[in-house]
Structure 1
């Protein structure tokens, strides 16, 4: 009786990469869907150009106001209206008294909308603000 006990040379000696490929494909799909969602949340805006524009200091935490070409107001990318904005500005001002506002307005936004926003944030105690432009070369 010549049977081999424990010497099974017919076993699989390779690593099965199928589960790893499955995981990588799932991660790729999640990344693609997330990237698509993030770009759809951005505000369609064309900034006015100015030759004297300066880059913003990335270390400074600003309130990011945006007004699109349809005069819709956004705060840090989220739609907001003036009625909800006053308590929010008071809270932000209490957290950081020297907070400033960065205002981005589409080139087709009526001038009156920008003035209205500046007046509103100044009435709510935020006196430091800048207007975002695209720097001409």
Structure 2
């Protein structure tokens, strides 16, 4: 009987690459925010993909502001952004605002971001049909 001195890893690598491709394609559909926000629709909408270096701020229909999923007030938003101030120019910020939210809260968040020099701002919308 022939003795096996090595294991053929190529089929294992093929299976893992297929699984990786499936995970990466489905991850973009799952990566919606945890805060329920009914986003406004826009014809020229492009999906911003959050990464580990981006900051996500959400405003729901009850005009509550959320920083990385944690409810905060407009006054404490500047305090939450302070640790990121050193990299403000390069730090991407994704803003998710419910279409029923008051425009005043949107402007107050934008004002705090501009004061902190967070210039890489993406406003998330849904693609209009």
Q: TM > 0.5 between the two?
A: yes
What's the secondary structure of 1:46's corresponding residue?
coil
Q: Are 2:88 and 2:119, in contact at CA under 8 Å, matched by a contact in 1?
A: no
Distance in structure 1 (CA, Å) of the matches to 2:127 and 2:52: 19
1:62 Cα deviation after fit: 1.8
Q: Measured at CA, do residues 58 and 83 of structure 1 come closer, stay the same or move farther in structure 2, by a change above 3 Å?
A: closer
Structure 1: runs of 5+ lacking an equivalent: 1-41
Q: Measured at CA, do residues 46 and 53 of structure 1 come closer, stay the same or move farther in structure 2, by a change above 3 Å?
A: same
Distance in structure 2 (CA, Å) of the matches to 1:112 and 1:58: 25
Residue aligning to 2:90:
98
Distance in structure 2 (CA, Å) of the matches to 1:85 and 1:113: 12
Please, which moves more after superposition, 121-130 or 94-103?
94-103
Q: Measured at CA, do residues 58 and 121 of structure 1 come closer, stay the same or move farther in structure 2, by a change above 3 Å?
A: closer
Q: Measured at CA, do residues 54 and 80 of structure 1 come closer, stay the same or move farther in structure 2, by a change above 3 Å?
A: same
RMSD: 2.2
Distance in structure 2 (CA, Å) of the matches to 1:49 and 1:85: 26
Residues 18-63 of structure 1: CA deviation (Å, up to 9, x unaligned):
xxxxxxxxxxxxxxxxxxxxxxxx3221100111001214457321
What's the secondary structure of 2:37's corresponding residue?
coil
Residue 76 (str. 1) matches residue 59 (str. 2): no
When the two structures are aligned, how many residues end up with a matched partner?
97
| Dislocated runs of 4+, deviation >2 Å | 57-61, 82-85, 93-97
Residue aligning to 1:120:
112
Give TM-score, length-normalised by structure 2. 0.65
Structure 2: runs of 5+ lacking an equivalent: 1-33
Query: Which one has the largest radius of gyration?
Result: 1
